[in-house]
Amino acid sequence: MKTTEIVIFTLLFLVVSGLGFVAARWRRPGDLATLDEWGLGGRSFGSWITWFLIGGDLYTAYTFVAVPALIFGAGAMGFYAVPYTVVVYPMVMLVLVRLWSVSHVHNLVTPADFVRVRFGSPTLALLVAITGIVATMPYIALQLVGIEAVLKTMGLTGDLPLIIAFAILAAYTYQSGLRAPALIAFVKDSLIYLVILVAIIYIPAKLGGWASIFDAAKAKFDATPNPGDGPLLNANNQLQYVTLAFGSALALFLYPHSVTGILASRNRNVIKRNMSALPAYSLLLGLIALLGYMAIAAGVKPIGKDSNTIVPQLFDNVFPDWFAGVAFAAVGIGALVPAAIMSIAAANLFARNIYREYLNRNATAAQEATVSKIASLVVKIGAVLVILLIDPQFSIDLQLIGGVIILQTLPSVGLGLYTRWFHRGGLIAGWAAGMAAGMLLLYNIANPATNHAHFGGSAFPLSQLGFDTKITVYAGFLALIVNLVVAVLGTFVARAFKSADGPDGTRPEDYFADQGDPRVHELETTAPAS
């Protein structure tokens, strides 16, 4: 056990936890017992709060731990995360500002709420809600992977420290709702920026410069027989890289936690300003990814077979003990913020689109908020069980599965914001076909490195479709194509047989409403924030 690192990590963790509990009084909400207040922070976050909230939401422990680990193991393929975060922000600006407007006009809280109003289909809304919950669960589990990797590196073995950390997270999320991660995100982002800026200056200087780092990486991959590994892309993995980057960008804004951060914004201009500025995080992400190459040059070895410990081991090897403790706290807190937002988003889906729709149609706002609070606890417990019962390396694979799953809501949520052409029956058929195709493709992906015969990643070999090639492609991209084709065909068939379609509860002008519009539901329980 490394006492100095543990003490500093614990102190910073306790400070952040204290902020989480204090957040219930932050900006003095009149009553937290509504989803608007508990689950969306009063829908009144300004530019600065939204900047840190969305940044803290989208840049998770997977970013800080798994991306460098992928660079360490496979090389250039791991950099797919950089272009996909560049591509995603223009799409979010074009798509989610419309969702913000229509949600504020109709008092919608979740993507499934929008589908319910837009297509008049409780069944389709239920499918979207279940899809969001299922896809989010492994993402929450991945935050535990990041904390677990840090605890292992500090010498804290066993499950108790991990359980205690998430018990504290569950407590302040239950009390403060979305305000907790919004307030903590300020600390999280500050620590991350500090650690990365120090790392990109200090570590290369200690290892002999960037030329030495890249030479060491090239030497490692030259000795690797896997044709997909290397410091540069090649003919076998270029298509996988492109489809994975684009597919991941499409998936990111469909996740319920991404929508939660957007709907908490005060107006459309807040979203536009943030989408213009947030690509700055992509520069930070590129620097974080390079930690994988630094680990190669430093001769870092993972603890056991857990590749997620690469970055913590690098920090432990090259930083003084006190600063390694700060770095570990940055990674740990970087896991807590998105885990809180994700659990709130999943809980909102259950409370609004399952509990209220099917179990208690006459639920009050307070009952709805209480159910969401309890559901957020259940979601966190489920994430802990995933880590305790499943090999952590497999949980990384589960994140890739989550992306394939959430992509199947694109036709109803993403395209639905622009067109009502699809028939609800066609969308349901497309969802079912895309989900079945995605699971079938993932089942047939093996990963010999992790001894997984099935669900071993997201790179589907085209050779399994009869092509004489070593080229791979992102399974989610193929599944989405199946979904769209079936949705289009299903719509033609439904219209040909004159099948009844659901009513569209929205109007064209609803998608452009902004703060101050008389149709927008104003919340008077909180003061404006900047």
Domain ranges for the chain: 3-14+44-512
Lowest mean per-residue pLDDT among 56-65, 314-323, 422-431: 56-65
Three-state DSSP at 75 gives: strand
Q: What's the pLDDT at 402? A: 83
Q: Is 401:455 a contact under the CB 8 Å cutoff?
A: yes
Lowest mean per-residue pLDDT among 10-14, 33-37, 325-329: 33-37
pLDDT band at 420 (very low <50, low <70, confident <90, very high): very high
Three-state DSSP at 408 gives: helix
Burial of 362 (0-12, 13-18, 19+ CB in 10 A): exposed
CB atoms within 10 A of CB 227: 11
Looking at every residue in the chain, the average pLDDT score rounds to: 86
Residue 449 pLDDT greater than 80, yes or no: no
Model's pTM, two decimal places?
Answer: 0.90
Radius of gyration of the chain from its Cα atoms, rounded to whole angstroms: 23
Q: What would the pLDDT profile of 117-141 be if each residue is shown by its tens digit?
A: 999 999 999 999 999 998 888 888 8
- Tell me which H or E stretch contains 472: strand 472-474
User: Count of residues for the chain?
Assistant: 530
Alpha-carbon torsion, ordered 65, 11, 347, 387, to 10 deg: 50
Percent of the chain exceeding pLDDT 70 equals 92
Q: What's the pLDDT at 227? A: 63
Q: What's the pLDDT at 228? A: 66
CATH for the stretch 3-14+44-512: 1.20.1730.10
Q: Is 245:325 a contact under the CB 8 Å cutoff?
A: no
Q: What would the pLDDT profile of 43-66 be if each residue is shown by its tens digit?
A: 888 888 888 888 877 777 777 888
Cα–Cα distance for residue pair 271/275, rounded to 1 Å: 6
Q: Is 305:292 a contact under the CB 8 Å cutoff?
A: no
pLDDT band at 425 (very low <50, low <70, confident <90, very high): very high
